[in-house]
Amino acid sequence: MSDAERHILVVAHARRDDTVDAAQRVISALQAAGAHPVLATDDRDELSIYLPECADLPALDIDVPVTDIELAIVLGGDGTILRAAELVRGGSAPILGINMGHVGFLAESERDDMDEAVARAVARDYRVEERLALAVRVKDAAGSVIYETWALNEATVEKASRERMLEVVIEIDGRPLSSFGCDGVVVATPTGSTAYNFSAGGPVIWPTVEAIAVVPLSAHALFAKPLVVGPEAAVAIEVLARTDGTGILWADGRRSHDLPPGARVVVRRSSRAVRLARLHPSAFTERLVQKFHLPVAGWRGPDQLTTGSTS
């Protein structure tokens, strides 16, 4: 791919002044380096109000197909990164997140390091990390597929009405595990283990561990603890016919589908991973400490192993 053909997607909301300023800097830096910034249609419309020059930039899927996108540079928090993952799903572009929000767990750089991050993106000085994603399929009571989607963080089956309880049965690899009433069930990837799964009391899973977490929400049952299953497991959640109400499926909190009694949600590993661009080789432990401000005072340093040592 020649420099003249390099298309880099810039994903940014025009809802905050600092994000607009950051978008202008990134777009200018890309153009100065000979790359071609591309915007999603909605982003172009919003940014053009504050940056009229954005109106002349090519639009994703209209002027430039997603398969021609080399990289997506995302200015925002985890929600914006999830939106970017949705935008580039049809291609192979990795996502480079620059945190403009609060926690920004998926982001690779902070706003103070933005210029360096863009320079390294232009120089292709990054490595690509593939993250497990979920394929989600909804079947009706007759077994017909009525909806399909995917998720990077989690697929969640929830009750649709606050005053109603959802009656579900959990199935793992074609075998029923338990039925109970609950507020819902979260099925999360390692990437999503620090998101909704974490808030629901599920385990934090290191990105290098390929696994799927299943976490009931406020379940009325003796056996309704968080589970960790293998990456090739098929997890099914069936909304029992006796449910007094309906449920709703959410994928990454962005895409939803109503679940009537008898509906069945099947979640398994997607054949297509999400690709993240990484600039720093920092350990996941360091990311946890930094993002969650965990107390580590008193740590004396790692053990210095010597020949014959077992501790």
- One of 78, 112, 183, 244 is an active-site residue; which one? 78
Can you tell me the distance from the alpha carbon of 94 to that of 278, in angstroms, rounded to the nearest whole number? Answer: 9
Please report how many Cα atoms fall inside a 13 Å half-sphere around the Cα of residue 296, on the Cβ side.
Answer: 13
Structure tokens at 190: 């390692």
Three-state secondary structure of 208-274? CCCCEEEEEECCECCCCCCEEECCCCCEEEEECCCCCCCEEEEECCCEEEEECCCCEEEEEECCCCE
Active site residue 78: yes
Q: Running DSSP on this structure, what letter comes out for residue 40?
A: -
CA dist 252 → 133, 152, 236 (Å): 11, 7, 17
Strand, coil or helix: 69:
strand
What is the helix (H) or strand (E) element at residue 25, kind and residue range?
helix 17-32
Nearest to 66 by CA among 279, 278, 275, 256: 275
- Written as one letter, the residue type at 64 is V
Structure tokens at 72: 């997506």
Are the C-beta atoms of residues 252 and 191 closer than 8 Å to each other? no
Structure tokens at 58: 């090519």
Residues tagged active-site = 78
